[in-house]
Structure 1
Amino acid sequence: MKKPQRSTAIFLLILSALLLVAMATFFYLKTQRQSAKTSPTKPALTVSTAALEQSLLPQRLSANGAIWPWQEAVIGSEAGGLRLTEVRVNVGDQVRKGQILATFAIESVQAEVAQAQASLAEAQANALDAAGNAEKARSLQRSGALSEQQINQFQTAEKTASARMLSARAMLEVQQVKLKQTRLLAPDDGVISARNATLGAVVGAGSELFRMIRGGRLEWRAEVTSSELSRIKTGMSVNLLAANGLPIKGKVRMIAPTVDPQTRLALVYVDLPLQAGAPNDPAAIRAGMFASGEFEMGKTMGLTAAQQSVLVRDGFSYVYTLGEDGHARQLKVQTGRRFGERIEIREGLAPGAVLVTSGAGFLNDGDLVRVVNPPMPPTASTAANPVPTKPQP
């Protein structure tokens, strides 16, 4: 009879222990729930927020192209068979219209001029003698001392001598022009871009000796697709960035009347300022450089956000918004134009949405955050009329 009583006692002890454990577990979980309600989770990060704004953004069209001379003049020799005795300019020199670029040997030309002058003097003397004989013949025409045939001969000799005199004078003028051509002059103001003249060389007529950029003017020839060509107008402003980093302001001068049938691209000619191509400026642009540019096509309104609010991950743009529970929510957006520290939001957000700005790059979707926005700067009216404060006693 002692064994059943002992077993019952052990069973009751075990049951009591299990009840105590169950009660302790229940009270522990209840305490944890109450503490969870009374003490919230610690925020992962402190951030600031800003709302989307309506901003006036510039509308631009990007293009690429090369820089070329506005017009390039070819300067060659007009007189052939003469020797170059002096070359006064080199590549990069600025020249004025009428400035002497090179000179040729003039000895042979001077001799030809002297010969032409002597021929003219002889022709003038013969013309004077023939004119006197013809005048005498005409005075004797009524007397009958000379026949009609003889009188015609004297008059013909007068006209022939006069024609020879004119021919000799024309030959003298030709030689004088040739003498002037021994000095090679600049046809216009500009910059020497190429030189083929070699001292001592005997050049032929029409040989190219120099090339010159007229007026020192350069232009940017932008390549624009045929679909975008209609958006560009003459006189439109253009912002260029040369390969050397020099920013340039240009203006559309003309648009090509045809489109390349192979590339479907058209050329837009943009005038560049004269000082941008100054050869003595080490930061100047040069003909043949590559440049990228943007055509300014006006301004339009758009939704913008602070640039630090937009994150690029895996090739897509994302922003963070805050829910009512204080948790960050990641949203995918489509961005557009950039202007200063603002970036356009084209799709993915509604006007007035509030975005996380500072600290957005350290967040993950669903993180609990604490918002601390910096104080707003005073407005113009507040700054002009500050609120008076009571003096301290």
Structure 2
Amino acid sequence: MRSRTVANLSPKLSARVLEVNVRPGDSVKQGDVLARLDDRELRAAHEAATAALAAAQARAAQATADEKRAAALYDKQAATQQDYDAALAQAKAARALVGQAAGAARQAQVLLGDNSLRAPFDGVISERLKEPGDMAMPSETVVTLYQAQALRFEAAIASQCAASVSRGMTATVRLDALAPTLSAQVDEIAPDIDPHTHTRLLKLSLPAAAGVRHGQFGWLELSCQAERQALLIPLGAVLQYGQLQAVKVVEDGRLHTRHIRTGKRYGDQIEVLSGLRDGETLLADGGLAL
């Protein structure tokens, strides 16, 4: 059982954790401060950027005044064209520097605000992965938050059964903590087949129900009418060589070692996924088995 909306909150810059205000299971509102990080360096950078902006504004004001005086003198033919052009260029450059300093100050303000991790939506805390005193890195989650509504059930089904499943169809889900079953709707069908388990992942939307929680375990009740053929051999015929499996196959009156890949076990027999063909003869339990 997983929520559609999960947020892993981490800082944009490396910083030491000062406070973590929530624990798993706590309900929070959008905008609540979940954790606070050491912001001394960012605060110093913001103060420096603010001071640089004030200095740039002062220089721009002086340059603008010089431009006005040069314009007045030029109108009275008391200043040359070169003097006026120089004052005009200095005023434009000073105003451009004000724009750059203002951008740096805004960026410093944003970074300073980002050092408090806030809830992006109303939800429930599922994990608290950092404690006060820990270093928090941009790639490391401090807290995980999920939306309690709009849960969906995820289940892996046999690949041969996936053909009978389509988006929008309904299926029954039984949860371990709830006595009644829930009617769920198939929302997503994974396009790929897991090469190890030969299954495909289904995601089903669940209706709102009391007692349903993120992370709960359950079962998907789904009828599978697909026919499936399996090649079974005696379990004792399989030889194990570390991670490899093999059998002794009889060919032209001689024994040959053949590597195989096995699947599910059925009692004293096991399914062969690759490496053998139906009708071949192999050695099993010290004798020949068909």
TM band (smaller chain): 0.5 to 0.7
Which of 211, 228, 240 is residue 161 of structure 2 equivalent to? 228
Matched, 1:253 2:187: yes
In structure 1, what is the equivalent of residue 112 of structure 2?
179
Offset at residue 158 of structure 1 (A): 0.5
RMSD: 2.9
* Distance (whole Å) between structure 1 residues aligned to residue 49 and residue 214 of structure 2: 49
**Separation (CA, whole Å) in 2 of partners of 1:213 and 1:142:** 69
Asked if 1:149 is matched to 2:82, the reply is yes
Q: Describe the SS at the equivalent of 2:74.
A: coil
Relative to 1, partners in 2 of residues 1:107 and 1:268: Cα closer, same or farther, differing over 3 Å? Answer: closer
Q: CA deviation at 1:222?
A: 2.8
CA distance in 2, matches of 1:173, 1:263: 52
CA distance in 2, matches of 1:142, 1:286: 77
- State the TM-score, normalizing by the size of structure 2: 0.66
Displacement of 1:204: 3.5
Mapping for residues 224-303 of structure 1, pairs under 5 Å: 224-244=157-177, 246-249=179-182, 250-261=184-195, 263-275=197-209, 281=211, 284=212, 286-287=214-215, 289-294=217-222
| Structure 1 segment 84-233 matched on structure 2, within 5 A | 84-233=17-166
Over 3 Å counting, the alpha-carbon distance change for 1:207 and 1:271 in structure 2 is same
**Deviation of the 1:244 alpha carbon:** 4.5
Match of 2:268 in 1: none
Q: Matches of 1:107 and 1:266 in 2, distance apart?
A: 50
**Offset at residue 220 of structure 1 (A):** 2.0
The letter of the residue matching 1:212 is: L
d(CA) in 2 for partners of 1:237, 1:104: 46
Matched, 1:80 2:8: no
Alignment gaps of 5+ in structure 1 = 1-66, 298-393
2-side partners of 1:168 and 1:260: how far apart? Answer: 54
Kept after mapping to 1: 8 A contact 2:161/2:224: no
Contact between 1:113 and 1:172, CA under 8 Å: does it hold in 2?
yes
Alignment partners' CA distance in 2, 1:153 and 1:141? 12
1:137–1:183 distance in 2 versus 1, CA, 3 Å: same
Pick closer, same or farther for the CA change 1:85–1:261 going to 2, 3 Å.
Answer: closer
Residues 188 and 215, structure 1, Cα contact 8 Å, conserved in 2: no
Structure 1 CA distance for aligned equivalents of residues 204 and 148 of structure 2 = 16
Q: CA deviation at 1:211?
A: 1.8
Structure with greater Cα Rg: 1
Q: Tell me by how many angstroms 1:258 deviates.
A: 3.3
Q: Which has the higher contact order (CA 8 A, sep 6+)?
A: 1
Match of 2:273 in 1: none
Offset of 1:286 from its aligned partner? 5.0
Question: 1:6-17, aligned counterparts within 5 Å?
Answer: none
Partner Cα distance (1:240, 1:173) in 2:
51
8 Å Cα contact 2:148-2:214 kept in structure 1: no
- Asked whether the equivalents of residues 10 and 136 of structure 2 are also in contact (C-alpha less than 8 Å), the reply is no
Aligned equivalents of 1:288 and 1:245: distance in 2? 10
- TM (norm. structure 1) is 0.50
Native 8 Å contact 1:218 1:287 kept in 2: no
Percent identity over the alignment is: 26
* Alignment-derived partner of residue 302 in structure 1: none
